[in-house]
Structure 1
C-alpha cells in the first residue's frame, strides 16, 4: 500500500488491533499512545515481525501542541498522513448527577477535541493530494445512549455528527470520512464490569457473544480499503446486532 496511517490510542485494545491489521495490509503505521510506551513498542514489534512498518509516537490528543508535534514527527519519519483513525478514548460509568464539570470536559476533550485536532492537522495534506481516509471510532451508545454513561454517550454522538458533516465538506477533495460504532467489545475499558455483567451483555447481543478488537479492526480495514471508495459519511455498527 505504501501509505501512512495514523492510529491514535493504538497501544492496546481496539487501537492495537487496528494498527496490526493496517500493518498487515502494508500501510506504514504510526502507533500512537499517551502513556503506555512499552505496549506501543510491543505492537510495533509485532507489525515489523510480520513484515510491516510501524513506529511509536507519544501524543495527548486533547492538547493542541502535542497533536501538532505528532503530525510533524509522523511526516518526517513515515511521510504525510493519508489515513487517520481517531480511536483514542476514555470511558467512565457514573450517575449523571454525580458528574463533575472536569469529568464532563475531559470526556469531550479526549473524544471530540482530540478528533478535531487530529483531523485539522491531517486534512491539509489530504486535500492537496486529493485523497484521504478518516475513520472515527464512536460507540453504539453514541447512537442510542446509555444510562450512567451520559457524558460518554454525548461525546460519542458528537463524533457521529462530526463524521457526517466533515464527509460532506471533504468529499469534493476525494476524502472519505466514516464512523465505526462498536458494541460491547472485550477490552480494558470493560475492566470494571464483572463476569456476570459481561455475561448479561453477551446474552442481550443477538449473536450471543461479546465483540473482539479484531472484529472492529476488520470494519476499519474495509473502510480505508479501495473496496469502500464510494462510502462516506456512514456509521458502521459492529455490535453483534445489539443496536439495529
Structure 2
C-alpha cells in the first residue's frame, strides 16, 4: 500500500519536467493521476510512460490552464472519468523574462494568466469535489523567486508571490472541510528549461546555494508526495522551499 493508495490526483504542467516527476511519484505511491499539459502530444506521452511502469495509473489531457471556460469543461470530463479528485497540484508555469523597461503588457499578462490565474481556474473547476473529500490536498508550485524577486523577472516573481498569497487564503477558506493548501517553492532545479542556460550563469547560481548542487525534479516530487499524504495532515498555509538553502 502506497502513501497515496486509491487517491485521485490532478497535476498540471505534467507533460515533462517537475510536473511529470510529481505525477510519476504519485503513481508509484498508488494514486490515479490525471496528467494535464498544454499539448495533447506531451500529456499522452507522459501518461504512456507512467502507465508502462504503473499500468492504468495515468490518463492524459490537454488544456491551456489560462483559459477559464476550457478548464471548466475539462474539469467535468476528468470528474466523469475519475469520479472525484483528492489532490490538485498546480504546477503549470511559463516565463517571459525581460527588464521592466522593455516588458510589454502582453508579456506581463502571458505569465500572470498561466502561473496565477491558471491555478485559480483549476481550483474553481475542482473545488466542489475537493471539499467533499476527507483529507483533500491542494499543492501549488511557486518558486523562490516569488519570495526574493529577481531582476528581469518582475512578471514571474509577481505571479509566484501571488500564488503564495492565493494558497494561504485557500488554506483559511478550506480548513473547515479538512482540506490543506500548501506551496512548494523550488530553487534552481535541473530541467529542460534551465538546461539551456549559459555555464557562467549556472556557476553564478551555484555560488548562492549552500548545498552547492542543483535540485532534481525528483526532489520536488518527494516534497509534493509528503504534502499530499496523511503524514502532512496538520500542515496548511505553508511555503516549503526546496532549494538547497538558497533562501533561508
Q: TM-score interval w.r.t. the shorter chain?
A: over 0.9
What is the CA–CA distance in structure 2 between the aligned matches of 1:153 and 1:11, rounded to whole Å?
23
Compute the RMSD of aligned alpha carbons. 1.2
Figure out how many residues of one structure are paired with residues of the other and give that number: 243
What is the CA–CA distance in structure 1 between the aligned matches of 2:63 and 2:42, rounded to whole Å?
14
Whether 2:49 is the aligned partner of 1:46: answer: yes
What is the CA–CA distance in structure 2 between the aligned matches of 1:131 and 1:241, rounded to whole Å?
30
Q: 188, 208, 213: which is aligned to 1:209?
A: 213
**Mean Cα deviation higher: 5-14 or 185-194:** 185-194
Following superposition, the deviation at residue 12 of structure 1 comes to: 0.6
Query: Is contact 1:184–1:211 with CA below 8 Å preserved after alignment?
Result: yes
Whether 2:229 is the aligned partner of 1:238: answer: no
Runs of 4+ in structure 1 off by over 3 angstroms are none
What is the CA–CA distance in structure 2 between the aligned matches of 1:173 and 1:24, rounded to whole Å?
27
What is the CA–CA distance in structure 2 between the aligned matches of 1:148 and 1:176, rounded to whole Å?
33
What is the CA–CA distance in structure 1 between the aligned matches of 2:163 and 2:23, rounded to whole Å?
20
Unaligned runs of 5+ in 1: none
Query: Is contact 1:91–1:189 with CA below 8 Å preserved after alignment?
Result: no
Residue aligned with 2:65, SS: coil
What is the CA–CA distance in structure 2 between the aligned matches of 1:108 and 1:39, rounded to whole Å?
22
TM-score (norm: length of structure 2): 0.94
Following superposition, the deviation at residue 192 of structure 1 comes to: 4.4
Tell me which residue corresponds to 2:149: 145
TM-score (norm: length of structure 1): 0.96
Following superposition, the deviation at residue 47 of structure 1 comes to: 1.8
What is the CA–CA distance in structure 2 between the aligned matches of 1:141 and 1:129, rounded to whole Å?
32
Tell me which residue corresponds to 2:108: 104
What pairs up with 1:78-157 in 2 under 5 angstroms?
A: 78-157=82-161
What is the CA–CA distance in structure 1 between the aligned matches of 2:46 and 2:148, rounded to whole Å?
33
Tell me which residue corresponds to 1:12: 16
Query: Is contact 2:135–2:230 with CA below 8 Å preserved after alignment?
Result: no
1:71-105 CA distances to partner (integer Å, 9 max, x unpaired)? 11111112211110000000132111110001111
